[in-house]
A and B are shown apart, each in its own frame.
Chain A
Amino acid sequence: MIDCHYVEPTTVDEACRLLAEHGDGGMVVAGGQVLSLLRYHGLIEPSCLVSLQHVAGLDGITAEEEGVKIGAMVTLHRLESVGQEHPTLWALSEAVKNIADRQIRNHGTLSGNICAAHQASDINTVLMALNASVKLVNPNGERIVNLHDFVTDAFTTTAEPGELLTEVIVPHFATPRSAAAYHRFALRAGDYPVVSVGTFVSLDEAGLCLEGRIVLGNCLGAPTHAAEAEQRLQGCNVVQDDQSLAEAANLAAANVTPWDEPMASGEYKKDLVSVLTREALTEAVASAVAVK
């Protein structure tokens, strides 16, 4: 076993520099809950753990011009109530409440969940439905990347070595009558979802759908947009014609080939996609209509 070091930088710059110095052997530790699992299963052998615990400025939640910005080290437990203060994040709070259990949510962080890039991550699925972006900082600068282009496959992100995710940006809704919803199905409470669906709709005054988003979790390696179904919603009066929601849900299911799992075949997951999409769309539309 190789010698492993542990460092506790206090600034983002210092953390990036340390990560870059250690190249592939450097590993970020946020809550560290995945680290323990990977090490236990003998899957990793880092040469240096770079803890974010004492890095200043990574735990804020602020509404700014571009959207609501959430710091990398915000815990999942804090996210449970964030929707009360920031209505844009309401669906995120609902999604987080069903993750694992209180202990894991107390210590797990937003960036840890995103960067672990688990194919069934509730956070990545709902954040993609909210069209979120992430801010990545490296020793030479920073870039903002849409989450969809950051989490690209199971356990895979496009982070470069030495790059740190410092915040998540959830854009404000462009029109007032907008809402998101998130539905998941798990075999037991506390399990990762077998399938989950995040939806977003924005409506005009008459109920016409200006934009619809449908993101499917745990069907492919990364959460994925149901593009045809999203198009189906565009321009429909989803308030008067709830058939359009059912059709979109069926399209979402017809156009995805989910991976088989021991406890849930791809065919079974397709059925779940249809049901959960319809439920999540119905809820999003009802919430959008209820916006005063």
Chain B
Amino acid sequence: MKYPLSLTVNDENYDILVEPYHTLMEAIRDGVGLTGTKCACDDGRCGACTVLLDGTLVKSCLVPALQAQGKSVLTIEGLGTPDNLHPLQVAFLEHGAVQCGYCTPGMLLTAKNLLDENPDPTEEDIRTALRGNLCRCGVYTHATQAILSTAKRDTA
């Protein structure tokens, strides 16, 4: 049985229909139509589907869609736009922290959450924060440097 779900994604309101067992990831990709939130492992390991739900970092493939009722979601599409990239996106480009790019949206949202909580992280803090975002191309070192440089720029 389908239920109405009202949620805000990147400051826009959406009213969609979902099954009780649908995940937030399915709601975002199939219901709202924003496909920047990636689906890779579909069992909570890889972190490609990471989004911010009312400011809390979650893996959207593990959250039941109806738990997002009335809440606000930030996905990669809301972080920056092609004409106006978020400083973290600029830093990822500058540091070549992207290879195939599939893990990048989730990694950027994790990085944003980290810098919101801790504007001056150590390299160790960044490594710990990225623990839930797997990258099979292995951009970890570049991503860590990109996040570090963004933090330095912001706190300078």
Given contacts A5-B1, A49-B20, A49-B21, contact A103 B66 (CB under 8 A): no
Given contacts A4-B19, A4-B21, A36-B23, contact A103 B50 (CB under 8 A): yes
Whether B16 sits at the interface, judged by CB under 8 Å, is no
Q: How far is the CB of A140 from chain B (nearest CB, A)?
A: 27
Q: Which of B7-15, B30-38, B40-48 contacts A (4 or more CB under 8 A)?
A: B40-48
Query: How many Å lie between the Cα of A3 and that of B45 in the bound state?
Result: 29
**What count of chain B residues pass the 8 Å CB interface test?**
28
Query: How many Å lie between the Cα of A102 and that of B42 in the bound state?
Result: 17
Q: Mark B39-67, 1 if CB is under 8 A from A, else 0.
A: 00011110100100000111101111011
Query: How many Å lie between the Cα of A102 and that of B111 in the bound state?
Result: 12
Given contacts A51-B67, A101-B131, A190-B132, contact A39 B21 (CB under 8 A): yes
Contact residues in A for B50 (Cβ distance below 8 Å): 103
Query: How many Å lie between the Cα of A103 and that of B25 in the bound state?
Result: 14
Contact residues in A for B110 (Cβ distance below 8 Å): 102-103
Query: How many Å lie between the Cα of A31 and that of B66 in the bound state?
Result: 11
Whether A123 sits at the interface, judged by CB under 8 Å, is no
* Residue in A5, A40, A53 whose beta carbon sits within 8 Å of that of B20 in the complex: A5
* Residue in B23, B63, B131 whose beta carbon sits within 8 Å of that of A190 in the complex: B131
Q: How far is the CB of B136 from chain A (nearest CB, A)?
A: 14
Given contacts A100-B132, A102-B129, A103-B57, contact A53 B21 (CB under 8 A): no
- The answer to whether A37 and B1 have CB atoms under 8 Å apart is no
Whether A87 sits at the interface, judged by CB under 8 Å, is no
Q: Mark A96-121, 1 if CB is under 8 A from B, else 0.
A: 00001111101100000000000000
Q: How far is the CB of B56 from chain A (nearest CB, A)?
A: 5
* Residue in A3, A41, A104, A190 whose beta carbon sits within 8 Å of that of B62 in the complex: A104
Given contacts A5-B20, A49-B20, contact A32 B132 (CB under 8 A): no
Nearest residue (CB) in B for A108 is B62
- The answer to whether B131 and A102 have CB atoms under 8 Å apart is yes
Q: How far is the CB of B130 from chain A (nearest CB, A)?
A: 9
Contact residues in A for B1 (Cβ distance below 8 Å): 3-6
Given contacts A4-B21, A102-B57, A106-B56, contact A189 B131 (CB under 8 A): yes
Whether A249 sits at the interface, judged by CB under 8 Å, is no
Given contacts A4-B1, A5-B20, contact A104 B64 (CB under 8 A): no
- The answer to whether A35 and B21 have CB atoms under 8 Å apart is yes
- The answer to whether B132 and A36 have CB atoms under 8 Å apart is no
* Residue in A3, A32, A101 whose beta carbon sits within 8 Å of that of B63 in the complex: A32
Given contacts A4-B21, A5-B20, contact A104 B59 (CB under 8 A): yes
Contact residues in B for A250 (Cβ distance below 8 Å): none
A interface, CB within 8 angstroms of B = 3-6, 29, 31-33, 35-37, 39-41, 46, 49, 51, 53, 100-104, 106-107, 189-190
In addition to A35-B64, A36-B44, A104-B44, 10 A-B residue pairs with Cβ atoms within 8 Å of each other are A31-B63, A33-B44, A36-B61, A46-B21, A100-B132, A103-B57, A103-B62, A106-B57, A107-B58, A190-B45
B interface, CB within 8 angstroms of A = 1, 3, 19-21, 23, 42-45, 47, 50, 56-59, 61-64, 66-67, 110, 113, 129, 131-133
Nearest 10 pairs of A and B residues by beta carbon: A101-B132, A6-B20, A32-B64, A33-B62, A101-B131, A103-B59, A103-B132, A39-B21, A107-B58, A4-B20
Residue contacts A-B, CB under 8 angstroms, 7 given: A4-B1, A33-B44, A40-B42, A101-B47, A101-B131, A103-B62, A107-B59
